Chain A
Amino acid sequence: MKIEGKRSIWKEYQKEIADDRYFYVRSCVRQNFFPGSEKTFLRIMKDVLHKDVFENASHTTCSGIGYHSDVVPFETAMTMVARQFAIMTEAGYENFTTSCITSFGLYSEILETWHHFPEVEERVRQHLINATGRTFNKPANLAHASDVIFKFRKEIAAGGMYRLINKHTGKPLQVVEHIGCHYSKMFPAKGVGGAEYPYVLAGMIEDWGGDVIDYPERRHCCGFGFRQYLIQANRGYSLACSKKKFDSMAPYKPDFILTNCPGCPMFLDRWQYALSEMEGITYGENGLGIPVLTYEELAGMILGYDPWDLGLQVHQVPVEPLLDKIGIPYDSKRKFLTMDGKMMGQPKAPSHLKFYQHE
Chain B
Amino acid sequence: MGKLYDKLAEDVRFIEGLKACLNCGTCTAICPAAEFYNYQPRQIVDILQTRDDAQIEALLKSETIWYCGECMSCVTRCPRGNAPGLLITALRSLSQESGWFTESEKGRQQLAIKRTVGEWILKYGYCLYPSEILPEMHPEQGPIWEWEHQNMDEVMHRLGANYKKTGPGILRKIPQEDLDEVQRIFDETGASERFSKIEEFSRLKADEMGISFGEGLDNEYIRHIYTTNDKDHTTKS
Q: Which A residues have a C-beta under 8 Å from some C-beta of B?
A: 26, 28-29, 31-32, 35-36, 38-39, 55-58, 60-61, 63-66, 68-76, 78-80, 83, 105, 113, 116-117, 120, 127-128, 130-132, 181-182, 185-186, 188, 195-196, 219-221, 223-228, 230-237, 239-241, 244, 270-271, 273-274, 308-309, 311, 314-316, 336-339, 342, 344-350, 355
- How far apart sit A64 and B117, CA to CA, in the bound complex (Å)? 10
- B140 lies within 8 A of A74 (CB): no
- B76 lies within 8 A of A60 (CB): no
Q: When A35-B156, A60-B125, A65-B127 are in contact, do A225 and B69 touch as well, CB less than 8 Å?
A: yes
Interface SS of chain A: helix
With an 8 A cutoff between CB atoms, is B208 at the interface? no
- B110 lies within 8 A of A195 (CB): no
Sort chain B's interface into a size bin.
35 or more
- How far apart sit A168 and B235, CA to CA, in the bound complex (Å)? 49
- B143 lies within 8 A of A339 (CB): no
- How far apart sit A61 and B127, CA to CA, in the bound complex (Å)? 6
- B168 lies within 8 A of A346 (CB): no
- A71 lies within 8 A of B148 (CB): no
Binary contact readout B25-37 vs A (1 if CB under 8 angstroms, 0 otherwise): 0000000110111
Interface of chain B residues 85 through 109 with chain A (CB within 8 A): 89, 92-93, 96, 106, 109
- How far apart sit A46 and B161, CA to CA, in the bound complex (Å)? 17
| Closest partner residue, chain A, to B153 (CB atom) | A338
Q: Which B residues have a C-beta under 8 Å from some C-beta of A?
A: 11-13, 16, 32-33, 35-37, 66, 68-73, 75-76, 83, 89, 92-93, 96, 106, 109-110, 112-114, 116-118, 121, 125-130, 133, 137, 139-148, 150-151, 154-161, 166-172, 174-175, 178-179, 181-182, 184-191, 194-195, 198, 225-229, 234
Which of the residues A128, A196, A338 comes within 8 Å of B154, measured between beta carbons?
A338
Count: A-B pairs, CB below 8 Å: 268
Question: Could you tell me the distance in whole angstroms from the C-beta of A279 to the nearest C-beta in chain B?
Answer: 13
- A346 lies within 8 A of B190 (CB): no
Q: Within 8 Å CB of B70, what residues of A? A: 68, 225-226
Interface SS of chain B: helix
Q: When A127-B188, A271-B140 are in contact, do A230 and B113 touch as well, CB less than 8 Å?
A: yes
Q: Within 8 Å CB of B179, what residues of A? A: 60
Q: Within 8 Å CB of B186, what residues of A? A: 76
Q: Within 8 Å CB of B160, what residues of A? A: 35-36, 38-39, 309
- B181 lies within 8 A of A131 (CB): yes
Q: Within 8 Å CB of A349, what residues of B? A: 143
Q: Within 8 Å CB of B139, what residues of A? A: 274
Q: Within 8 Å CB of B71, what residues of A? A: 181-182, 185, 221, 224-225
- A270 lies within 8 A of B66 (CB): no
Question: Could you tell me the distance in whole angstroms from the C-beta of A278 to the nearest C-beta in chain B?
Answer: 9
- A347 lies within 8 A of B147 (CB): yes
| Closest partner residue, chain A, to B179 (CB atom) | A60
- A65 lies within 8 A of B128 (CB): yes
Q: Within 8 Å CB of A31, what residues of B? A: 126, 161, 170-171
- How far apart sit A220 and B148, CA to CA, in the bound complex (Å)? 30
- B118 lies within 8 A of A71 (CB): yes
- B174 lies within 8 A of A57 (CB): yes
Which of the residues B33, B226, B234 comes within 8 Å of A233, measured between beta carbons?
B226
- How far apart sit A105 and B85, CA to CA, in the bound complex (Å)? 13
Question: Could you tell me the distance in whole angstroms from the C-beta of A252 to the nearest C-beta in chain B?
Answer: 21
Q: Within 8 Å CB of B156, what residues of A? A: 35
Which of the residues B113, B125, B170 comes within 8 Å of A61, measured between beta carbons?
B125
- A274 lies within 8 A of B170 (CB): no
| Closest partner residue, chain A, to B234 (CB atom) | A236
